[in-house]
């Protein structure tokens, strides 16, 4: 067993990268795939907080600073998901040697089916390093110009590094009428759109319960999207019901949105 490493990236903060990473990972684990999620956002790690983990014993930062063993920093999470969280401690941040992350990942690669890396957003040393570890990348983007511009930069850097994209999640759709269409984003990035994730109050509700949305609200449109993509990644046939729900959601979006470039050829 050698894990496929999937790094979740975005060119702009606040688009939902960590939420996507958590729910995709939990969905993969729910399909009986041994999965580890790594919070590689060394500066602003939040996965431990979002899953309600007490990381005072050990965290990725402690491993990077040489004060803890890797096995001490891997926690049991929801759906039998394994979690390697970061620490919000300033002391831990200042002492972390990020250059050894690659060796850490390789040392446990044969223990998992999938390793999902939650990359820092934007373009910086740590995000580029997270990209370098990936077998495949998934871009998370909001349907607006600023998010698209950041996504295009990440795409260009990743292409230059020879790292392939699986595709992109368009997150928080259905908020405004003038948001960018799936087709415009797809054409600008040259990436397959894996799922349109609707703006969903259950995202915040699941955070309050410190549980992945795919577990707390499995019937929500966003959960259906994450589960569908996780099934495809895991090589599991998607049920007709799930496929129909995703197709119906897509048609609904096309009927109520228009592109900023409407009328242009």
Reported as a single tens digit per residue, the pLDDT across 49-99 is 999 999 999 999 999 999 999 999 999 999 999 999 999 887 778 888 998
Whether 264 is in a domain gets the answer no
Please tell me the distance from the alpha carbon of residue 12 to that of residue 148, in angstroms, as a whole number.
9
pLDDT exceeds 60 at position 262: no
Find out whether 153 and 178 touch, Cβ atoms under 8 Å. Answer: no
Determine whether the annotation assigns residue 210 to a binding site: no
Find out whether 20 and 226 touch, Cβ atoms under 8 Å. Answer: yes
Please tell me the distance from the alpha carbon of residue 223 to that of residue 169, in angstroms, as a whole number.
13
pLDDT exceeds 50 at position 166: yes
pLDDT of residue 92: 78
Total structural domains within the chain: 1
Determine whether the annotation assigns residue 19 to a binding site: yes
Whether 260 is in a domain gets the answer no
Whether 77 is in a domain gets the answer yes
Chain Cα centroid distance, residue 116: 7
pLDDT of residue 198: 86
* Gyration radius from the chain CA atoms: 18
Of 51, 187, 43, 54, the residue nearest 119 (C-alpha): 43
Find out whether 151 and 141 touch, Cβ atoms under 8 Å. Answer: yes
Please identify which residue in the block is written with the tokens 């995202």. Answer: 203
Q: What is the 3-state secondary structure (H, E, C) of the chain?
A: CCCEEEEEECCCCCCCHHHHHHHHHHHHHHCCCCEEEEECCCCCCCHHHHCCCCCCCCCHHHHHCCCCCHHHHCEECHHHCEEECCCCCHHHHHHCCHHHHHHHHHHHHHHCCEEEEECCCCCCHHHHHHHHCCCEEEEEECCCHHHHHHHHHHHHHHHHCCCCEEEEEEEEECCCCCCCCHHHHHHHHCCCEEEEEECCHHHHHHHHCCCCHHHHCCCCHHHHHHHHHHHHHHCCCCCHHHHHHHHHHHHHHHHHCCCCCCCCC
- Mean pLDDT in residue range 220-230: 93
Whether 265 is in a domain gets the answer no
Please write the tens of the pLDDT for every residue from 131-149: 999 999 999 999 999 999 9
Determine whether the annotation assigns residue 16 to a binding site: yes
pLDDT of residue 237: 84
pLDDT exceeds 90 at position 175: no
Please write the tens of the pLDDT for every residue from 8-33: 999 999 999 999 999 999 999 999 99
| Owning domain of residue 230 | 4-255
| Residues linked to residue 141 through DSSP beta bridges, in sequence order | 170
Determine whether the annotation assigns residue 17 to a binding site: yes
More confident residue, 162 or 249: 162
Determine whether the annotation assigns residue 12 to a binding site: yes
pLDDT of residue 91: 75
Please tell me the distance from the alpha carbon of residue 118 to that of residue 17, in angstroms, as a whole number.
7
Confidence (pTM): 0.89
Residue-wise burial string across 55-84, b where 16 or more C-beta atoms lie within 10 A, e elsewhere: beebbbbbbbbeebeeeebbbebbbebbbb
More confident residue, 197 or 60: 60
Give the pair of three-digit tokens for residue 227: 């589960």
Whether 105 is in a domain gets the answer yes
Which CATH number do you get for residue 94? 3.40.50.300
């Amino acid at each position: 067993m050698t894990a496929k490493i999937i790094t979740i990236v975005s060119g702009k903060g606040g688009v939902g990268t960590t939420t996507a990473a958590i729910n995709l990972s939990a969905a993969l684990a729910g399909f009986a795939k041994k999965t580890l999620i790594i919070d590689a956002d060394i500066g602003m790690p939040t996965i431990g907080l979002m899953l309600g983990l007490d990381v005072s014993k050990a965290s990725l930062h402690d491993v990077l600073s040489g004060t803890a063993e890797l096995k001490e920093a891997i926690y049991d999470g929801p759906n039998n998901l394994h979690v390697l969280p970061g620490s919000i401690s300033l002391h831990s941040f200042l002492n972390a040697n990020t250059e050894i992350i690659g060796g850490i990942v390789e040392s446990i690669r044969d223990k998992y089916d999938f390793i999902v890396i939650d990359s820092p957003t934007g373009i910086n040393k740590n995000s580029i390093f997270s990209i370098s570890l990936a077998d495949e990348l998934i871009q998370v983007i909001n349907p607006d110009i600023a998010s698209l511009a950041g996504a295009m930069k990440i795409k260009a850097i990743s292409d230059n590094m020879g790292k392939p994209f699986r595709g992109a999640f368009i997150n928080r759709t259905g908020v405004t009428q003038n948001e960018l269409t799936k087709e415009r984003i797809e054409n600008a990035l040259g990436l397959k759109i894996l799922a349109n994730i609707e703006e969903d109050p259950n995202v915040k509700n699941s955070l309050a319960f410190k549980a992945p949305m795919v577990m707390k609200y499995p019937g929500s449109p966003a959960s259906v999207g994450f589960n569908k993509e996780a099934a495809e990644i895991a090589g599991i046939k998607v049920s007709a019901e799930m496929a129909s729900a995703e197709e119906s959601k897509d048609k609904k979006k096309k009927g109520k949105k228009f592109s900023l470039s409407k009328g242009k050829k």
